[in-house]
Amino acid sequence: MKKIICLVVITCLLSMTLAYAQEQKTNWGVFGIFLLVGAITIPLIFKALKQSDKEMSKKWSAVHLGMTTDQVIKAVGKPNDVNTTIGTWGIHEQWIYNYAPFHYIYFDNDTLTALQN
C-alpha cells in the first residue's frame, strides 16, 4: 500500500512540474534536473519502504496468541485505536493498528486470543 501511495505522489509531482514548465515556458533543463533528482530518489524511497516492511514483519513475528496486553505493547507498540466491550464474561478488546500485518488483534481479559488481517 505504501508503495502505491508513493508512486501516486511521485506521478502527481511529475505531472504538476511538467504542466508548470509548459505553462511558464520554463527552461526544460530545470525539468530535466527534476527528473534526474526523481530518478535518483525514487529507488532510495523504495529501498527505505522495503526495509521498513522487513522491520515491521520482524517485530510482528514476535506476536503470538496468549500474550498479555503489556507484552504486545512492548513488542509492537501501542495501537492506533481500541474498542472495548465489557460483559459478564469479562473485558473484550479489539486493538486496531494502521499499516501492520494484523490490522486487528483481540484480547479477552488481557490475553491475546485472535489476530486478523
- 50 Cβ partners below 8 Å, 6+ apart? none
Q: What is the pLDDT of residue 101?
A: 72
Q: What is the pLDDT of residue 16?
A: 67
- The DSSP 8-state label assigned to residue 68 in this structure reads B
> Taking 70 as the threshold, does the pLDDT of residue 109 lie above it?
yes
- The DSSP 8-state label assigned to residue 100 in this structure reads S
pLDDT band at 98 (very low <50, low <70, confident <90, very high): confident
Note if the pTM is more than 0.85: no
Q: What is the pLDDT of residue 113?
A: 97
pLDDT in tens, 41-97: 777 677 666 666 677 778 888 899 999 999 999 998 999 999 999 999 899 999 999
* Angle subtended at Cα 82 by Cα 81 and Cα 86, rounded to the nearest 5 degrees: 165
Average pLDDT, the chain: 80
Q: Where are the beta strands (DSSP E) in the chain?
A: 81-87, 90-96, 104-108, 111-116
The mean pLDDT of 10-27, rounded to a whole number, is 65
